[in-house]
Structure 1
Amino acid sequence: MARKKRIAVIPGDGIGIDVTVEAIKVLDAIREKHGLDIEVKDFDYGAERYLRDGTTMPEEQVEDFRSNYDALYIGALGDPRVPDMAHARDILLGLRFKLDLFVNYRPIKLTDQKLCPLKNKTEADIDFVVFRENTEGLYVGMGGIFKKGTPDEIAIQEDVNTRKGVERIIRYAFEFAKEKGRPKVTMSDKSNALRFGHDLWLRTFEEVGAEYPDIEKEHIYVDALTMQLIKRPEQFEVIVTCNMFGDIVTDLGAQLQGGLGLAASGNINPDGTSMFEPVHGSAPKYAGKNVANPLAAILTLGLLLDYLGYSEQNGLVEKAVAEAIKTNNTTKDLGGNLGTKQVGDFICGMI
């Protein structure tokens, strides 16, 4: 008998709450139809909780997530009443580093060519994934400022790359390609200019890649990658890159598939609890107005289900979202006239 899966849900702030409701509604429909043994528990971490009692993400809660949950589902975080985003930083970055979520997984898949800003590109042309190293690089917060506010001010931001960190994300990309039948892995860096940190990336890519003789290996500088993603995105299958470059390239990819309203992401620890979140912001001014697009949230749910081993159900989610887009059963940003709740109802009906 399969073990019950447990999901912790943090709805977030603003429209994050609205779209998370729809994602969980879809999950409920899937659980009912397919008899999935999944337990869902809500947690109220977010701006309201922070403003009420100063709580962001307690250490004991992180340990509870690590020990007792298979995955976290998190809605968009951000509230103008917390201008320094302290709560969002502690929740998102805190979980990312403390749960060692070293894989940032971003599928880039066009569901309808009318959404693509590129001319003459079809659904078959834009279907690749990006793996971004999620715990190192320029985002670790190492560095400092000397003589701040003076004409002699110096600011240093350190780029941290370890053999362990680089090797495990590159190996994850190759294993994914092998498992999913993707014929090529592309590694993008700037080793011609960043001669220490990215030399490590290039050497590690060559060494790990040699263990996968049946998969084509490609190295490309990140500036050339951005040009090629616009010129000929169909050449890419799996892209792996560092933290900052991945942050930039994945947003470019999101626009190729129709914008952040369709961008889902996973933050993965293959041996532990992983976290899934839509990429878009919290847009507080639209909260509670039944206008937010829930499709990224619903696609993110699909990624979570796939991670838990329910690939068939993820396929149903993807097909339902594609049908919603093709038939204009969407919110206004995608050309439809439905509200947030009505889009969720349509997806549930398709499932």
Structure 2
Amino acid sequence: MTVISVLPGDGVGQEVVPEALRVLDDLGLGLEFDVLDHVNAGAYLATGTALSDDDVDRIRRSDAALFGAIGDPRVTSPDYARGVLLRLRFELDLYVNHRPVSLPAERLSPLKDAKRGAIDCVVVRENSEGLYAGIGGALRQATSHEVALDVEVNTHSGVSRILDYAFGIARSEVCMVDKSNAVPNGGRLWQRCWADARRRHPAMVTRHLYVDAAAMRLVSDPAGFDVIVTNNSYGDILSDLAAELGGGIGIATSVNLNPSTGFGLYEPVHGSAPDLAGRGVANPVAAILCAALMLGDLGHTAEAEAVRAAVARTVEAGRCTPDLGGSLGTAQAGAAIRAELG
């Protein structure tokens, strides 16, 4: 039995994840869902616990996790989000953030050019180090003499393994992005590991860009990339830019992955969107595409492709939510995809 941990979380996560589960149910694959619907902002405000040790153990024992969103206007401390997402990333060593970008309908991209080919790439982001490792501190806080430090952490093993992952999934090219001309210490480490990785994969076409040049190139030629690999903070920025070029944040997917264990935490990128929550208008496509990404990684390749194709057909036909040019609500959009799949 394949067990999927399900964490709807907050805001629109509680609306879009059920649509993804209905799609998975319709496929009849015999998946078992372990729903942790108590992991949310309300529970955190009541108990002070974001994610318990028992919750982590339940998730660890499952085969994969499908996540909705985290975040609530009532919670002002970053400890809540860190206590859920970052705790899972670090404790399960989910060192890959894999963000595929594939345009389902040409009208959705502001920069689609048929002469350049399809927008179809992956941003691979190192997920456990960098500026988000939490190393740093503050001196003389809340005074005019305050000094704040956030330290970027790079390790040889961490950089090497994310580069090898990028080479492992590439179809035609790997583009490594850094800022080694201005960030000398981490930059030198990334450059050495990059040279070593290229020697380990001599048949692959490679390219190196500084992060500012990569941002410009994504805008001028978004179809010109296959796999982009970079550090935690640059990857965070570039993957959101790529998502917007590929149809918008409402259809953007991601997985936090440990390739060694095979465990993945599949998460739509759009967040909890409190301004949309409870209105029944949130776009379920990203959650459903996350489910498809999960299916592919679990070995259900044909079913994953069928879900992606059904999504593309419904979006192309305008049977979708208003952010994609349609007029359907969350449940109606989910039903349209299931009908197309059926």
| Residue matched to 1:217 | 206
Q: Distance in 1 between matches of 2:101 and 2:135?
A: 31
> Does the 8 Å CA contact 1:173/1:238 hold for their aligned counterparts?
yes
| Residue matched to 1:52 | 46
The SS at the match of 2:191 is: helix
Residue 121 of structure 1 deviates from its aligned partner by: 4.7
Q: What do the CA deviations read for 1:216-238 (whole angstroms, capped 9, x no partner)?
A: 01111111000000111222101
Q: Distance in 1 between matches of 2:112 and 2:44?
A: 46
Q: What do the CA deviations read for 1:280-323 (whole angstroms, capped 9, x no partner)?
A: 02122422321111101111111111111112111111111111
| Residue matched to 1:275 | 265
Paired residue type of 2:324: L
Aligned residues: 339
Residue 203 of structure 1 deviates from its aligned partner by: 1.1
| Residue matched to 2:325 | 335
| Residue matched to 2:57 | 63
Q: Distance in 2 between matches of 1:88 and 1:47?
A: 9
| Residue matched to 1:113 | 106
Unpaired runs of at least 5, structure 2? none
| Residue matched to 1:88 | 81
The more displaced of 142-151 and 224-233 is 142-151
Residue 122 of structure 1 deviates from its aligned partner by: 7.2
Matches within 5 A, 1:237-252: 237-252=226-241
Identity of aligned residues (%): 46
> Does the 8 Å CA contact 2:89/2:95 hold for their aligned counterparts?
yes
| Residue matched to 2:314 | 324
Residue 199 of structure 1 deviates from its aligned partner by: 1.1
The SS at the match of 1:284 is: coil
Q: What do the CA deviations read for 1:254-290 (whole angstroms, capped 9, x no partner)?
A: 1001111010000001123320100002122422321
Matches within 5 A, 1:248-327: 248-272=237-261, 273-327=263-317
Q: Distance in 2 between matches of 1:326 and 1:125?
A: 15
The SS at the match of 1:52 is: helix
The SS at the match of 2:259 is: coil
The SS at the match of 2:334 is: helix
Paired residue type of 2:69: A
The more displaced of 221-230 and 286-295 is 286-295
Q: Distance in 2 between matches of 1:348 and 1:123?
A: 32
Matches within 5 A, 1:11-30: 11-30=8-27
2:92 to 90, 99, 102: 99
The more displaced of 282-291 and 248-257 is 282-291
Q: Distance in 2 between matches of 1:121 and 1:146?
A: 54
Matched, 1:124 2:117: yes
| Residue matched to 2:340 | 350
Q: Distance in 2 between matches of 1:146 and 1:55?
A: 28
TM-score (norm 2): 0.96
Provide the alpha-carbon RMSD of the alignment.
1.5
Unpaired runs of at least 5, structure 1? none
Residue 119 of structure 1 deviates from its aligned partner by: 5.3
Paired residue type of 2:11: G
Matched, 1:160 2:153: yes
Q: What do the CA deviations read for 1:92-119 (whole angstroms, capped 9, x no partner)?
A: 1110111100000000111111011115
Paired residue type of 2:158: G
The SS at the match of 2:9 is: coil
